Amino acid sequence: MNTITINGKGVAVRDDQLGLTLMEYLREHRFLKGAKNGCAKGLCGSCTVVMDDKAVRSCRTTVEKALGTSVITVEGMEYPDGRLHPIQQALLDCGAVQCGFCTPGMVMAAYALLLREPSPDRELIRKTMRGNLCRCTGYQQIVDGVELAAKIIRDQGLSPKAGCL
């Protein structure tokens, strides 16, 4: 049986869905609209999800490649009680969510970064976030937000996975 774990739940994938992009599958078949179609070429980052703890462009990843993996989307980031994940809250607090189109991809790229490096410096944050395009914020607020999220997670003794399904 073809399955993918999405936001903590195993889902069956039909054979005729294997050739879809992961973004198409998430948006059209799982009704998870967070991953956005910004360029369909893997260049803008608005479709970023985390697959097996790594940021991937869902517009360039086939469903077939995602079989047997664990995928987290921005919808899987909030706490069960509805509170925002510290990354989401920090980006909001730092004004890094102006129009919101790129925000889900930014959240997921930041999440993957904090999974591998809980204390990133500003240069690493900039380097990591460089692949996610934003037309509104000027990026400084995004760097500030990721830095704040990392501090909150460390100071509260949380795992970046806290709250994720």
Rounded Cα distance, 134 and 141, in Å? 11
pLDDT at 159: 85
pLDDT at 143: 96
Percentage of the chain lying above the pLDDT 90 cut: 82
CA 58-73-44 angle, 5° bins: 40
Mind listing the domains of the chain with CATH numbers? 3-73 (3.10.20.30), 86-155 (1.10.150.120)
pLDDT at 165: 61
Rounded Cα distance, 27 and 61, in Å? 14
Query: Is the pLDDT score of 63 beyond 90?
Result: yes
Query: Is the pLDDT score of 102 beyond 80?
Result: yes
**Closest by Cα among 94, 148, 98, 81 to 119:** 148
pLDDT at 1: 77
Q: How confident is the model at residue 104 (pLDDT cuts 50, 70, 90)?
A: very high
120-138: average pLDDT: 92
Task: Kindly report the pTM of this predicted structure.
Answer: 0.95
**Closest by Cα among 116, 113, 114, 109 to 49:** 109
